[in-house]
Chains A and B, each alone.
Chain A
Amino acid sequence: MTTYTDILPQLLETLKPYAKKVGGLKETTDLVSELGLDSLQVMQVLLKIEDQFDISIPLNNLPNIRTVKDLGQEIETLLKG
């Protein structure tokens, strides 16, 4: 079973291209306010992550996803089904 610990390094790698403005990506990095992603970029990132992990992230859950950690935990939950 894929756990958060397995997911985190893969997620950080996927987000790396979007983190050029900040010094480094951490679990606590805020996806919007720190990475400066606009709504379109957020959607592009999510589509990429959906394909990477073969999951579908409901729009309903997005308000609860603020940080890299939140996103990782959401992926873990969805992978558990």
Chain B
Amino acid sequence: MAVEGLATLSKEELRKKLLQPDEITGSEILLRSLLLEGVECVFGYPGGAVLYIYDAMYGNPDFNHLLTRHEQGAIHAADGYARSTGKVGVCIATSGPGATNLVTGIATAYMDSVPLVVITGNVATTAIGTDAFQEADITGITMPITKHSYLVRDVRDLARTIREAFYIASTGRKGPVLIDIPKDVSAAKTVFRYDEKIELRGYNPTVEPNKLQVNKLVQAMEKAERPVILAGGGVVHAGAHRELIELVEKTRIPVVTTLLGLGGFPSDHELWFGMPGMHGTYAANKALQNCDLLISIGARFDDRVTMRVDGFAPKATIAHIDVDPAEVGKVVKTSIPCVGDVKAVLTAINAKIGQTASKEKWIAWLKELQEKFPLRYKDSDEELKPQYVIEMIYETTKGEAIITTDVGQHQMWTAQYYKFKHPRSWITSGGLGTMGFGFPSAIGAQIGNPDRLVISINGDGGMQMCAQELAVCAINNIPVKIVVINNQVLGMVRQWQEIIYDNRYSHIDLSGSPDFVKLAEAYGIKGLRATNKEEARKVWQEALETPGPVLIDFVVSKEENVYPMVTQGNTIDDMLLGDD
């Protein structure tokens, strides 16, 4: 890959070189600070207000930058990098339109608590507020969708600001932090100092949980006869998957995982009952509705999980473990709050928990439901079913690949039929539901995980919201396997229009889309197509055996729906199961 480090110095030598108190420009301060934060690759797109910064990159052997073809591609790539590695993702764009093109990506990261440091250029401090060329108030625009933001008006504040930004982005409930750097600040010089100590009076995330809260939770867990764990993205963010497995092995409490929690608990575990919610499994939804103790771990009771809130988990005492105190009690009334880092809380519980009540009857009932109402679809030998494609991808990769998706039906089918074994292997826009996320996020995931197989699963709609990034894969030989689940329609919208809007199909026909194979070839990427099961097996095998990027166009049936489905206004045990 072209972005691999060219550096010849050892880590210590490089660090020593970077920490020299030289008088350098804001741009050089930025690059040095990013390297000192351990940034391996920055995703970006140049422009007028960041010219000094890009000039500082020129010929810099230590600094890696990946040029995307759209700022939105850059930030989604940084997001995929962050989600798949657990490190902070970094992207750069210029002022005005460059910065506003990042907005969707910032909101995407914010909703899913992804640590990003987003760097934008701005017009010179003397021009700010004058409606100068390519000026936009990006700190103002992004205030509601960032964890924090900075407008750096003095070069002497820059190094400290970057240090703080990384600290804020990567601690507590993680999230995107924006640093807006006016052009004159990136040009101005000062002596470089990179202080390790950070003082932020207004920012003290709770890590260690309150002992009384832990005790209360442990007691409730010991007594419960029908408990269930709802594991969310917080388990993955905190790196607490081992602690969660330990807890489940100790207590035999059944687990369901939210969309973002997939991979946070191994799906081949006998006590895993799937994903709950709007398109959740029958057993998972029944588990939540019939449990006597619901332990939410790093999940935030999103409306796609709870559906009708006043009928959600009606028999349960709710316990909520979360690093963000504002999530506790926000949506559902919580009897046992437990604020702290998920890993720290689970470690404390594991150290404390003793003999628990037998729940074998409860487990047996859930297993019976799981057997009676599995995920299913009507297979066909004539046409290719999208679920079949996902199952095939799962079987051939044995759940070991990193999978990114876009948003819609293919996303739900992947969540249902790809059985994730490991954390940080499932990259999807859950909270914001951003179309155009799937493919560029895979580029970032591949950069962060050069030795793993990265597969990006997209619909034919979302693929066209980010197709320009094919150039990035081609030119840098980034070996992402790009899957298009092509049903020639905006499938999830079609499904809603069929079921809820009485077959009134309004503006969902994607006729006129390009031939995706030819599109890939136009960028110099191998393109393959399958229209039935046999072809699908054959071309998929070929794709896996091909080094470098490949796009595979799976032409699937148009009328397929995602089931189970809970329609809005209903409780999660009120599921449409499909007609077969």
Real binding pair:
no
Show the binding face of B for A, using Cβ within 8 Å. none
Show the binding face of A for B, using Cβ within 8 Å. none
